[in-house]
Amino acid sequence: MIELRRVSKRFGAETAVDGISLRVEKGELCVLVGTSGCGKSTTLRMINRLLEHSAGEIQIDGRPVQAFDEVQLRRRIGYVIQSTGLFPHWTVARNIGLVPTLLKWPRARVEARISELMALLGLPRDTFGDKYPDQLSGGQAQRVGVARALAADPDILLMDEPFGALDPITREELQEQLAGLQSRLHKTIVFVTHDMDEALRLADRLVVMDRGRIVQQGTPLQLLRDPASPFVESMLGGEDRGLKAAALIPVSERMVAPGAEALPRVAVNASLRQALALMLSARAPRLSVVDADGRVVGELGLPQLLGARAP
């Protein structure tokens, strides 16, 4: 769906993006991480042509981005930035309706879409529709930014630190909504974040950048298990890597047949990290694995948790 081949961007003498190649398949959520100034935002802006690339090729659905006109690109690509980019003199509702209005949707359909999105993002239109952006909290404004990007139902979303100003609870809620949206509607998403837990939770493909280059890409588990360099390892959390990987693996993947003994219980859909936490707090080297109805469906011991073969 999105393909970059040896793409570079120079600003005067400075090379901000240096020959990166990246393929994002339809329905994939690709997360870009890397230190400040490594070229993440520049990469997003070249995909929607807010910036022209200096070298290489960028294609969407097999067509060079230059071949699309602006209206077509706006319809297909939603864009969310941390500072929201909302128009300060427009109400929240009008901001959200921007792209559908540009696309000349009938008024009634635009209005219905605005109400639908505001409800989806927990901003009831009665309360928030007529407010101006500077009357919102940072987190509310970010949600308006997300609503605006989704308004015309684009098949591609570019999200540049979209949840940065949100409290952890709202943030997790929006992460879940985004993951749901992606799995239900097969949106193709390129997402930039500085929060590694957010990156690991959301990413189908994780891309680590350093000084304008891609230094490693793969699934979160691939990178956690086999970081290509000390830089990638430290980006992924250094010594915490083992715990971060354990958070991505469900208990169901490692459990063995249950015995008759009554043990502390862990849910079958819990992560190995949660199981380990429970072993520590219960001081138990083995746990009973239970399903949603509380039936014992397996057993997990330290050897399984560590990845050893079942005895």
Beta bridge partners of 33: 208
Tell whether residue 42 is a contact of Mg ion (CB under 5 A).
no
Give the residue carrying structure tokens 């992924």: 236
Number of residues forming the site for ligand ATP (CB under 6 A) = 10
Tell whether residue 214 is a contact of ligand ATP (CB under 6 A).
no
The DSSP call for residue 308 is P
CB of 35 to Mg ion, least distance (A): 11
3-state secondary structure of 84: coil
Taking the least distance from each CB to ligand ATP, the nearer of 21 and 135 is 21
Rounded CA gap, 114 and 93, in Å? 6
Tell whether residue 38 is a contact of ligand ATP (CB under 6 A).
yes
Residue type present at position 4? L
CB of 269 to ligand ATP, least distance (A): 34
Residue 281 interacts with, from Mg ion, ligand ATP, none (CB under 5-8 Å by kind)? none
Tell whether residue 48 is a contact of Mg ion (CB under 5 A).
no
Strands 296-301 and 286-290: antiparallel
Burial profile 77-100: b = 16 or more Cβ within 10 angstroms, e = fewer: bbbbbbebebeeeebbbbbbbbbb
Taking the least distance from each CB to ligand ATP, the nearer of 155 and 161 is 161
Check the CA dihedral 17-23-26-30 and report its sign.
negative
Q: In this structure, are residues 21 and 4 in contact, taking their beta carbons and an 8 Å threshold?
A: yes
Taking the least distance from each CB to ligand ATP, the nearer of 128 and 191 is 191
Tell whether residue 235 is a contact of ligand ATP (CB under 6 A).
no
Q: For Mg ion, which residue of 2, 16, 32, 41 counts as binding (CB under 5 A)? A: 41
Tell whether residue 8 is a contact of ligand ATP (CB under 6 A).
no
Burial profile 256-269: b = 16 or more Cβ within 10 angstroms, e = fewer: bebeeeebeebbbe
Residues 42-101 that bind ligand ATP (CB under 6 A): 42
Tell whether residue 281 is a contact of ligand ATP (CB under 6 A).
no
CA 27, distance to chain mean position in Å, is: 12
CB of 207 to ligand ATP, least distance (A): 12
Tell whether residue 41 is a contact of ligand ATP (CB under 6 A).
yes
Q: For ligand ATP, which residue of 25, 37, 52, 240 counts as binding (CB under 6 A)? A: 37
Could you list the beta-strand ranges (E) of 193-253.
205-210, 213-218
Residue type present at position 21? S
- From the list 32-40, 56-64, 87-95, 247-255, the region that binds ligand ATP by CB under 6 A is 32-40
Enumerate binding residues for Mg ion (CB under 5 A).
41
Enumerate binding residues for ligand ATP (CB under 6 A).
11, 16, 34, 36-42
